[in-house]
């Protein structure tokens, strides 16, 4: 059975075979999680991302982790800018990020996600956490043979950690809506 966990910290130092990068459409680095991952992985990541020729919103692509020693692979996914879409469409695109990343990581034992689109892309953390947890649970139900043993949602701040933890607890039935 796959564990769904929540942790607080730096995703570039979290021990997981696969980590997810909340990337922009160019995949060539930016601020927040994207910048931190590019800095930690080194210039080889930028070269690898250039060969991917970008990605559309909701799309996911994989590279090696290069100088990030706690991971083998990085999945780059482009979340929606919340204000650019109707709420239902933003939720669909965000769910696509999680599904696509899980599809790419399905042969690995562990994957760690940042809170996709909740930084400068403005997706409200509580809404994004609900989409993330529901999408992960649905994906797991549809992929009972996955090699994934551990899926971790990584929060960079303690308030975000609490929101993610609450979303996981609600989905598990531990906390009423």
- Confidence (pTM): 0.96
Residue with tokens 């790419």: 104
Using an 8 Å Cβ cutoff, are 80 and 72 in contact? Answer: no
Q: What is the pLDDT of residues 22-73, one digit of tens each?
A: 999 999 999 999 999 999 999 999 999 999 999 999 999 999 999 999 999 9
CATH architecture of 3-169: 3-Layer(aba) Sandwich (3.40)
List, in order, residues 6 or more apart from 35 with CB less than 8 Å away. 29
């Amino acid at each position: 059975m796959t564990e769904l966990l929540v942790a607080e910290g730096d995703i570039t130092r979290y021990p997981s075979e696969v980590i997810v990068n909340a990337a922009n459409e160019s995949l060539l680095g930016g601020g927040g999680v994207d910048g931190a991952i590019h800095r930690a992985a080194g210039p080889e990541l930028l070269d690898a991302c250039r060969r991917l020729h970008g990605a559309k919103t909701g799309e996911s692509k994989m590279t090696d982790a290069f100088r990030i020693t706690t991971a083998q692979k990085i999945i780059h996914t482009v979340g929606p800018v919340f204000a650019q879409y109707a709420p239902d469409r933003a939720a669909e695109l965000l769910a696509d990020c999680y599904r696509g990343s899980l599809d790419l990581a399905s042969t690995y034992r562990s994957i760690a996600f940042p809170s996709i689109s909740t930084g400068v892309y403005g997706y409200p953390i509580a809404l994004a956490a609900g989409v993330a947890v529901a999408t992960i649970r649905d994906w797991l139900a549809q992929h009972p043979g996955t090699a994934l043993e551990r899926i971790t949602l990584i929060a960079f701040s303690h308030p975000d950690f609490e929101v993610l933890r609450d979303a996981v607890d609600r989905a598990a039935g531990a906390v009423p809506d």
